[in-house]
Structures are given as structure tokens and as C-alpha cells.
Amino acid sequence: MCQSGDATVFFAPDSERIREREKREALAKRVCEECPVRQQCLEHALALPEQFGIWGGLTEMERAEEARRRRGAATTGRAPVVVPIRIGSQRDRGFADAQAAREGTEVAA
């Protein structure tokens, strides 16, 4: 979907202010939420890894966190709890964390 619209919203311009970045990222994430290939896009970005921009609805920092979480799950040998990502939803993340705590596992996505 990003390829049919304004792709600049997915990448930070030079010297972007925090408020501008927050608005731009929120807009990009709304596009990603509706994207039919969001999960594949995210997996691609994590596999390369893509260094910049929003991919699969996650920012660079969010993808780095996701990669760390997955590596952690791999080293513990426990299967990660995979939950659908609802972008920006703290409530869903809370459910996933609670489920992982009950099962003694970690949240992967």
C-alpha cells in the first residue's frame, strides 16, 4: 500500500522534529494497519534487516526491540507467544505480556 501513496511518510527526513516525527509515524502506521502484506513486510524487514523507515507498521526502534525479543525467545528455547500486532495498542500488548507470564514464555510479536 505504501507504494501506491506517498512513500516519504515512511522515512524520516533530515532534521525532523519530534512532533513532526510522531505525526508522520502515526500516519504511516495507519497505512500499514490496512495493508494486506503487513506481516510479510515486517518479516522481510526483520530478516534483512532494514535499517531505516517504517516497515510492517513498526519503526526502526520497534523492529530492533522485536528482533531482540525473538532472539531472547530463541536462546531460552521456549516458543514465543505470537499475537497479532495491533499497531499502537497497549491493551493487546498487555494481554500478550500477561499470557506470556502465565505460560512462562516471551512475547514475540
Closest among 70, 72, 40, 69 to 57, alpha carbons compared: 40
Residues facing 81 on adjacent strands: 107
Which residue lies nearer to ligand SF4 by CB, 55 or 100?
55
**Residue from 25, 46, 55, 59 in contact with ligand SF4 (CB under 6 A):** 55
Using CB under 6 A as the binding rule, whether residue 96 contacts ligand SF4 is answered as: no
Interface residues for ligand SF4 in 25-54 (CB under 6 A)? 31-32, 35, 37-38, 41, 54
- Give the largest CA-CA distance in the chain: 44
CB of 76 to ligand SF4, least distance (A): 29
Contact 46, 72 (CB under 8 A): no
